[in-house]
Amino acid sequence: MAYTQIRYGIMGAASIVPRIIAGIKESPNSRVVAIAARHLGKAQAMATKFEIPTAYGSYEQLCEDEHVDVVYIPLWNAGHYPGAKLALQHHKNVLLEKPFTLTYQQAKELFTLARENDCLLMEGQKAAFLPITTQVRHQLLEKKAIGEVCGVTDQEAHPGIEKIPWFHDVKVGGGAFYGSAAYILEYLQLVLQTDITAFQGQITHQGAQADDQTQLNLQLASGPLASVFMTTLTASLPSQITFWGTQGSLTVPNYWKTDTYQITTSQGTNVFTQPQKSEFVYEFNHVSELVLRKETTSPVMTSALTLKTMKIIETLYQDWYPEQFKNS
């Protein structure tokens, strides 16, 4: 490629799109050149508002656009697999939002298709690229700022998403865990540079509806135990993850988008901050750099990490909803 900016096409006009556009605009090596929605009018309205050159009324038209280098996909959860498959079949690089797919098999198929077509396929995981995430990893693993990490507790409140029409249908990727599981499962592995070796969980739900709360217990290969609680039922729970060490603790609020964290030891509490305009810019910097270098795999968000995560998610849902997942 002779140019230095990667051109993004956005598949869908979801509520997250304005924040995505802000992140791309902040990235020096990225720009949005097209957007597509199932209804042309919706795509045109979004294109006009955010000064996007081209709007399409179908996803296939977007994938046929020779001026699009990467297709970013923030569709509803059940649309991730067919949307990514369509883009890859048109030889487009793909940045695919969480949850990557609904099943482990779908994820495997997409990575195989990406390799066959020599395309980059990466799971969207903005937390992996935040400056704070790098600092937290350094504090825990290199500086040993809280001694040896022996445990982790994570609590997350995601109120409001239950208002999404399909949220209560687990067959299309509804549920508290489906929507947010990849964040914590991958964050733990990336920050602590370890694997999840054992897991079990419980959920609450109404009748046959998807889960509205999840309690998860994890064993990490490096030794620590982790406890995760997710809820969509209250806004009063502060979202934060705390790493407990032999000499103190490190707490990160809203770890998936944060610009701060704090360390508490016998010497007191220190707060660290890293101001940022958009939590998405670092992820797009990474993807664009990969495409400019004609690389088709990310050394951070690897296919192995995504597949491990999908296997955990699928296994748990098979246990919680055996009838709906008996053929996955």
3 pLDDT tier (thresholds 50, 70, 90) = low
Task: Count CB neighbours of 295 within 10 A.
Answer: 11
Cα separation, 259 vs 257, whole angstroms: 7
Please check whether residue 218 is in contact with residue 225, taking contact to mean a CB–CB distance below 8 angstroms.
yes
Residues 98, 76: contact at Cβ < 8 Å?
no
Question: Among the listed ranges 15-19, 134-138, 259-263, 309-313, which one has the minimum average pLDDT value?
Answer: 15-19
For residue 110, being part of any structural domain is answered with yes
Adjacent-strand bridge partners of 198: 219
Q: Strands (DSSP E) along the chain, which ranges?
A: 6-11, 30-36, 54-56, 70-73, 93-96, 121-123, 149-157, 196-204, 213-220, 225-231, 240-245, 248-253, 260-265, 268-273
Looking at residue 140, its pLDDT comes to: 98
88 & 158 share domain: no
pLDDT digits (tens, 9 = 90+) for 219-243: 999 999 999 999 999 999 999 999 9
- DSSP annotation of 232 reads S
Judgement on whether residues 141 and 25 belong to the same structural domain of the protein? no
Find, among 180, 154, 44, the residue nearest to 99 by Cα.
180
- Write down which residue in 108, 124, 140 finishes a domain: 124
Rounded Cα distance, 183 and 289, in Å: 23
Choose the final residue of a domain: 70, 104, 124.
Answer: 124
**3-state secondary structure (DSSP) of residue 209:** coil
Stretch 77-97: mean pLDDT: 98
- Number of domains composing the chain: 2
What does the block give as tokens for 272?
Answer: 């660290």
Closest CA to 249 of 145, 326, 125: 145
Residue 11 forms part of a structural domain:
yes
23 plus 104 within the same structural domain:
yes
Torsion region of 131: left, alpha or beta (phi above 0 gives left; psi -120 to 50 gives alpha)? alpha
Whether 291 contacts 92, CB under 8 Å? no
Burial class (CB in 10 A: 0-12, 13-18, 19+), 41: exposed
Query: pLDDT at position 1, please?
Result: 43
User: The domain that contains 231 carries what CATH number?
Assistant: 3.30.360.10
Residue 33 lies in a domain: yes
The answer to whether residue 327 sits within a structural domain is no
Helix (H) / strand (E) containing 134: helix 131-137
Would residue 281 count as lying in a domain?
no
* 142 shares a domain with 34: no
Same domain, 43 and 60: yes
- In a domain? residue 297: no
Domain identity same for 71 and 139: no
Q: Is residue 300 part of a domain?
A: no
Lowest mean pLDDT among 37-46, 71-80, 255-264, 316-325: 316-325
Residue 206 pLDDT: 92
Once rounded to an integer, what is the mean pLDDT over residues 161-171?
A: 86
For residues 25 and 164, membership in a common domain is answered with: no
- CATH number of 118's domain: 3.40.50.720
pLDDT over 70 for what percent of the chain?
98
Tell me which residue range forms the domain holding 25.
6-124
Instruction: Check if the beta carbon of residue 183 is closer than 8 Å to that of residue 257.
Output: no
pLDDT of residue 328: 65
Cis peptide leading into residue 99 (ω within 30°): yes
Sorted by sequence, the CB contacts under 8 Å of residue 116 that are 6+ apart come out as none
Task: With beta carbons less than 8 A apart as the criterion, state whether 110 and 283 touch.
Answer: no
Same domain, yes or no, for 229 and 315? Answer: yes
User: Contact, 101 vs 110, CB < 8 A?
Assistant: yes
Single residue among 101, 124, 147 that ends a domain in this structure: 124
pLDDT at 160: 80
With beta carbons less than 8 A apart as the criterion, state whether 232 and 175 touch. Answer: no
Closest by Cα among 159, 145, 161 to 252? 145
Report the C-alpha gap between 88 and 83 in whole angstroms.
Answer: 9
Mean pLDDT of 135-155: 98
Under a CB-based contact definition with an 8 Å cutoff, are residues 153 and 241 in contact?
yes
Could you tell me the two tokens for 141? 């693993």
Residues 146 and 268 in one domain: yes
If asked whether residues 114 and 240 sit together in one domain, one would say no
Task: Tell me: do 204 and 247 sit in the same domain.
Answer: yes
Calculate the average pLDDT of the chain.
96
**% of the chain exceeding 90 in pLDDT:** 93
Place of tokens 């390799």: 115
Strands of 74-113 (E only): list them.
93-96
Same domain, 214 and 86: no
Residue at 284 is within a domain: no
